[in-house]
Amino acid sequence: MRVALFATCVNDALYPSTAIATVKVLERLGVEVDFPAAQTCCGQPQYNTGYRRATEPLVLRTARAFEGYDHVVTPSGSCVAMVRDNYPRIGAKAVAEGRGRELAGAAASLVPHVYELTEFLVDVLGVTDVGACFPHTVTYHPSCHGLRMLGLGDRPRRLLEAVRGLELVELPGAEECCGFGGTFAVKNADVSEAMGEDKIRNAMSTGADVLCGADNSCLMHIGGMLRRQDAPQRALHLAEILASTEEEPLR
Amino acid sequence: MSGTYLGMPAFPRAARDAVRDTTLRGNLRHATHTIRDKRARAVAELDDWAALREAGKRIKDHTLRHLDRYLVRVEEAVTAAGGTVHWAADAEEANRIVADLVKATGESEVVKVKSMATQETGLNEALEAEGIRAYETDLAELIVQLGKDRPSHILVPAIHRNRGEIRDIFRSEMGEWGRPAPEGLTDTPAELAEAARLHLREKFLRAKVGISGANFMVAETGTLVVVESEGNGRMCLTLPETLISVVGIEKVIPTWRDLEVFLQLLPRSSTAERMNPYTSMWTGTTDGDGPRAFHLVLLDNGRTDTLADEVGRQALRCIRCSACLNVCPVYERAGGHAYGSVYPGPIGAILSPQLRGTGSEIDASLPYASSLCGACYEVCPVAIDIPEVLVHLREKVADQGGAGHRLERAAMRTATWLLDHPAALNAAERLASSTRKLHPKRLPGPGARQWTNSRDLPDLPAEPFRDWWKKNHA
Ligand code: SF4
């Protein structure tokens, strides 16, 4: 099976380790991975801040970059939600504004093929045990996009539970937003910080070594706070835990 | 909308103080978490909740699509039942109509049922200016009124007050308005409730005019419906000689069968009860029973403009249950006052800028008062996609330009250009990576400063993913 990796701009520029880990996990499971170099960003920051028209070139670019692949996999729930929920909206608005069907067509061609990593592993490949080993205590933060927009449900937990040596502990208030929200973290910095503080307080109360999530943008916010406070806990992307094995353990 | 909120600072500034007020944050956290957990249990009891929600959404959408027709039907039915219908284009007109109606009775006092519509129009202040005193009879609304305060929640307007504060307000203010608080009043709920009961009883028995809103208007019979917990509303609806109801035009539903859906959706979503204690319904006037005169003021005040917006109009489905407030992480920290409107929380963030327009600083900031986490959409009993509307309104605000948005637009365009040119992007990534040792942990400048106030930036990687890929896979 050949899949296209959608690395997303955040993973590409700031967290390449997450994209590398995704490649490793997929290849370990016998999947042939491609990285179409024409891809960049799904346009989420622009769109969510109110710049829909500035998003349009990226909708087209993203759709074209992944043309012809049955499966497009990304370790970023919020980018999948962007494609699934908002690409059709962007397309429909362009049609309503009398600017043709190109964007709507691009959205329609991409939407059915895009998978968040845990969806792809559990639903398409049908695996929960990916052969990982990570002997640490982990608590899982289900980011809002994965939780509510994609309905990932217990897929990430099932994957984590199958990791050898991993002890999963419940995160109090897990379903609450961490306060990142893209430009929200800057435009409403005080509220964002207050939300983040509550999130890391809950995370540290678990005593876990690692706070795990499936979206690096939330982890950048949570992890940045943990580090500023010199907390013993670190934030880590789910893909990196799944990539960790006995032979090649994650530090 | 109410003039009292004009000149509010933008949301981020208004929220700042609330965020730092640990007592307020504690009160709000406790109150919202208790009610949200109860709501979740009450909703889980019904296995057809999803179907009910869909039905509620459809009935409202259908009614809004044919609003003209149903409103005319309401008018005909109310008139046939002995009532009089008035149409008010805006808050000012609604207040004028009500003031004139009260004056015509020769009265200078009215009792009020809790009503968002009259809060929205600032009716109490308008009546005051005409020498008419309006007494709020809902317990929480009474606390807000006595405390010369503003409501901070749709359902529990005094949610930001604790019992000690309420006792102090009762002690010092009740005497100003009528029967004073009993000597030695403590802050036990029973004593506070009894003090309010005695204070209000006087008002109920004396008042000749009652003013209400309505949760629903049933078009087929012209029946108005008020759903409440305390029974004070029912006193206002039945004891006075004249009843004036001010109702937003979006409150109409076609038939009694439709009401069945909402009487299931509303109590569970708002108070987490299977059924609310009091549901009052009235149709025009009835000989020998209830008010002798009934007036219905149908309020537009920005609603037809909202209806014209294809994405934004779904906000008019709102049944004011306040479930979205109770799950909202931003409301929980910022408090209701920061929204600068009688409609706080997620629904306020999309309703106020539509009803009032985005001309003022506060209204232009409201669409950004959300992390788009989607919790509000998930609980909304009529499935209003609040995040969708927020983003839609952000586009409007960004388009109108103004404070900071021109700079932001330029930055977004530059970002898009870069992201649309992978080679340039890659060069920028490489530059950042190669200079990564030089990047400080705290940065100056707008945006970066806010970010690094409380968080470390991530370490830049030695190379971007696309370079790793080229080396290892291509
Ligand atoms: S938007 Fe929905 S959840 Fe919020 S008050 Fe209105 S009906 Fe209730």
Task: Give dist(CA B41, CA B289) in Å, integer.
Answer: 40
pLDDT band, residue B458 (cuts 50/70/90): confident
Q: Going from the N-terminus, what domains does chain A have, and what CATH number goes with each?
A: 2-124 (3.40.50), 137-243 (3.40.50)
Kindly state the percentage of chain B with pLDDT values over 90. 79
pLDDT in tens, B366-397: 999 999 999 999 999 999 999 999 999 999 99
Written as six digits, the tokens of B330 are 């931003």
What pLDDT is recorded for position B440? 65
**Residue in A with minimal Cα distance to B365:** A187
A–B CB contacts, 8 A cutoff, strictly below: 190
Pairwise CB contact (< 8 Å): B375 & A89:
no
Q: Is the pLDDT of residue B342 over 70?
A: yes
In the DSSP assignment, the letter for residue A133 is B
Question: Between helices B422-434 and B465-472, what is the axis angle to 10°?
Answer: 100
Pick the residue of B33, B326, B453, B454 with the most A CBs within 10 A to test the interface with A by mutation: B454
Give me chain B's average pLDDT, please: 92
B348 in contact with A at a CB cutoff of 8 Å?
A: no
The single-letter code of the amino acid at B211 is I
Nearest CA, atom 7, ligand 1: B318
Nearest CA to ligand 1 atom 2: B380
The per-residue b/e assignment along A99-126, b for 16 or more CB within 10 angstroms, e otherwise, is eeeebbebbeebbebbbbbbbbbbeebe
Tell me which of B446 and A198 has the higher pLDDT. Answer: A198
Strand order in the sheet with B278-282: B252-253, B216-218, B223-228, B278-282
Residues 429-458 of B with CB under 8 A from A: 429, 432, 446-447, 450-451, 453-458
A26 pLDDT exceeds 80? Answer: yes
| DSSP bridge partners of A133 | A164
- For residues B298 and B71, is the Cβ–Cβ distance under 8 A? yes
Which of A235, A108, A124 has its CA nearest to residue A178? A235
> Element (H or E) spanning A212, and its range?
strand A210-213
Q: Tell me the pLDDT tens digit for each residue of B253-310.
A: 999 999 999 999 999 999 999 999 999 999 999 998 999 999 999 999 999 999 999 9
Chain B residue closest to A236 (CA)? B458
Nearest beta carbon to residue B397 from set A50, A58, A220: A50
Residue nearest to atom 6 of ligand 1 (CA): B318
Measured in angstroms, how far is the CA atom of residue B322 from the centroid of ligand 1?
Answer: 5
pLDDT > 70? residue B201: yes
Give the model confidence (pLDDT) of B147-165 as tens digits: 999 999 999 899 888 899 9
Ordered structural domains, chain B, with CATH: 11-303 (3.40.50.10420), 421-472 (no CATH)
Q: Where is average pLDDT lowest: B50-59, B363-372, B437-446, B457-466?
A: B437-446
Atom of ligand 1 nearest to the CA of B270: 8
Would you say the pTM of this structure is higher than 0.90?
Answer: yes
| Of A177, A226, A176, A185, the residue nearest A204 (C-alpha) | A226
Q: How far is A250 from chain B (nearest CA, A)?
A: 16
Provide CB contacts within 8 A for A179, sequence distance 6+.
Answer: A185, A191, A192, A193, A194, A195, A196, A199, A221, B329, B371
Cα–Cα distance measured from residue A41 to residue A27, given in angstroms and rounded to the nearest whole number: 23
Of B407, B469, B470, B472, which to mutate for an interface test with A (greatest number of A Cβ within 10 Å)? B469
The nearest CA of chain A is from the CA of B426 a distance in Å of 9
Note whether B329 contacts A176, CB cutoff 8 Å.
Answer: yes
Q: For residue range B299-335, what is the model confidence (pLDDT) as tens digits? A: 999 999 999 999 999 999 999 999 999 999 999 999 9
Query: What is the structure's pLDDT at B474?
Result: 65
Does the structure show a pLDDT above 90 at B402? Answer: no
Q: Which of B242, B222, B253, B211 is nearest to B78 (CA)?
A: B222
Lining ligand 1 with CB less than 6 A are B 269, 318-324, 347, 379-382, 384
